[in-house]
Chain A
């Protein structure tokens, strides 16, 4: 597993990360843990993951490359190593994903010195959880269509509006908030705030029930919510620019941060295992030629994802530097969805069983994973919007708007 061309610092860090993870497995727990961050539902789950992130932070695996004055560990080029090592051992996910992969990059790039010192350390330790307020009932794929208004009143802003699909909202101390400060310009009329949520007057968080029956998302209502101007990030009217910084980092950070038990299981081996224990037409699904072809198709996509990531690092084999990195989002999320759907097909009659039915194959994973997969083909820019972006920015075709 050793990687060529590491610096001495990186080699030393990698050894440290491996040793620490080997000595510090995820703590045993009796509580029912969710499949991913998106299904966090209870306080005890949050406390379990908060404690895990805190320990990783203290061990130097979180905030690895962030400067010491902002609570980080001051390394260089080591965060990716930490992420990879955590993923490799199937470590629990990191709770404060919005804080780590969205708020911190935005504040580092656009924030004041005071904002950096105030917010970054407590996000790293998971003491303060962050949520994201970019989506609204009328602003999904068309993200600049924000209607939540922030009106200036002296040194304060008064916010009114309605955010949706807010993961972590029910546990969050703060929100990265994109709000409209002018109706005169669609893009330049947006500003960015680091908005208090928990216990803050004028902010109401209501859980949103997903199609699976699970909680996780929220609606957040702002009714004359007052926030101080010192919580504005970058200039008035620069909200879209900051949001683009955030989304660029979100896509980059999605590569490895966290891990999570489920991704440690090879998805193709999981499908093959299911096919070998499922019946189809009087025989095993694993002996059905059509099913076999469908599984191998996914195996090829899976290998393709690994090899695309590998080729993305070889400049001589990339005609356009952003083509592979930008294409991977849609490929990965749709792969996840197609695999889950295939699992539903293979499970046959047993795919109807909910996770609480003892006879459900793989504890009801397949239909649940399939339904959940729409979170990733819709959230963060739907697959359709991703294809517009790829067609326009990479292939240079005219904009579809």
Chain B
């Protein structure tokens, strides 16, 4: 990461980043076209919602992704990763969103960003670069995104820590090899890397709408954490420093997803005829799609702006830019999701139509780590002043 440099006009999105993005587009386009995605996650409407089966994902495709080194995208090269800057990661995650890829990639990237900010996180970064998957377990029962809040406590026992309580809204928990956990330990908030197979750790699946991920409550009963896995004594600091990257990653997924929703709905508006004309002829259909396009463009530009601010080491600017990106991406996602169902008409709200898969992924990501209203409230505190 380059410091003291002026942010480049091209967001630092150069030939390497373009190559990575194009590779992702090609791979996911070939291996997970929407008909395959549908077969994978939405063949049977009762599987997830009624029989409570876990959301399915393509583990063979995931093995290829691990071999390509994508788990280590954000891991520095000296720790065995690819050491991509955030602009490159945003480019790749846009493609992940565009394909609605069910995988632990986004959760692992988010956890990586936190571990990279923890003084004792390096050993785990190397493992992640080798294919270990990770996820954040930092959220309380009411889904607060405030970084100091959580329902886990830790107590010292010899050199180890013992964790009790629960973490909620854990993303892709059933795909993760390690949970990155924040817990209250006396006056400190500690950050621990807890292997998913630790004794006393159990995952209870949440019943969620999104078919392209899983989510769980992680319950901790006397879970023993070895000293070397207590990666930071300042969890809030590590999370704060990682937060812009986390917001940008989720925003990039939203933007990619939104672009798929836009293009798919535009195609439908060209194909579907009513009153002897393609419905895209009618301005009541055409103009909202143009509005969606303009919203998506804004969100996409703000994502790369925030990525660039992160890469060029401007923490205050990075958080502001990332909140703007997440706000814009959440709202753009919500709008095109709404129009994608409505403009598909009767077929649009059936299980048979693909749009619901992306609608649900987008809706999940809109809320994740704070929706537009939440981000704007935070921005108002810095830009206008606290009330």
Spell out A's residues near B (CB within 8 Å). Answer: 3-4, 268, 272, 275-276, 286-287, 289, 292-293, 295-297, 299-301, 303-304, 307-308, 310-311, 313-314, 316-317, 323-324, 327, 330-331, 384, 387-388, 390-392, 394-400
Contact = CB atoms under 8 A, between A and B. Distances in A.
B289 interface: yes
Contact of A310 (B9, B298, B379, B383): B9
Nearest to A305: B298
B297 A303 contact: no
Contact of A397 (B11, B266, B324, B376): B266
B384 interface: yes
Contact of B283 (A323, A327, A388): A388
B271 to A, nearest CB: 11
Nearest to A303: B324
Task: Classify the secondary structure of A's interface with B.
Answer: helix
Interface string B174-216: 0000000000000000000000000000000000000000000
A327 B299 CA distance: 14
Contacts of A4: 8-9
Contacts, number: 146
Given A292-B384, A398-B277, A400-B286, A307 B301 contact: yes
12 contacts: A3-B9, A289-B377, A296-B327, A296-B379, A300-B376, A308-B301, A311-B301, A317-B11, A327-B297, A390-B294, A394-B293, A397-B270
Contacts of A324: 297, 301
Contact of B305 (A272, A289, A310): A310
B16 to A, nearest CB: 11
A307 B283 contact: no
A304 B328 contact: yes
Nearest to B378: A296
B11 A387 contact: no
Interface of B: 8-11, 13, 17-18, 21, 91, 266, 269-270, 277-278, 280-283, 285-287, 289-291, 293-294, 297-302, 304-305, 321, 324, 327-328, 373, 376-377, 379-380, 383-385, 387
B327 A300 contact: yes
Given A304-B302, A397-B280, A297 B286 contact: no
Nearest to B262: A395
Nearest to A383: B287
Given A300-B328, A387-B286, A398 B9 contact: no
Task: Classify the secondary structure of B's interface with A.
Answer: helix
Nearest 7 A/B pairs, CB to CB: A397-B280, A304-B298, A307-B301, A391-B286, A292-B380, A296-B376, A316-B18
Given A293-B380, A304-B328, A330 B9 contact: no
Contacts of B299: 304
B87 to A, nearest CB: 9
Contacts of A307: 298, 301-302, 304-305
A47 B329 CA distance: 48
A303 B302 contact: yes
Contacts of A331: 294, 298
A113 B11 CA distance: 44
A377 B266 CA distance: 25
A352 B114 CA distance: 52
B286 A396 contact: no
B268 to A, nearest CB: 11
A395 B298 contact: no
B377 A286 contact: no
Given A293-B377, A390-B290, A391-B289, A275 B384 contact: yes
Nearest to A2: B6
Contacts of B377: 289, 292-293
B290 A301 contact: no
B325 to A, nearest CB: 9
B302 A295 contact: no
B270 A310 contact: no
A64 B304 CA distance: 33
Contact of B266 (A303, A323, A396): A396
Contacts of A268: 383
Nearest to A294: B376
Contacts of A399: 281
B282 to A, nearest CB: 7
Contact of B281 (A308, A316, A384, A398): A398
Contacts of B304: 307, 311, 314, 317
Contacts of B11: 310-311, 314, 317
A361 B379 CA distance: 26
A308 to B, nearest CB: 5
A54 B305 CA distance: 39
A268, A316, A317, A390 — most chain B CB neighbours (10 Å): A317
Contacts of A297: 376
Contacts of A384: 283, 287
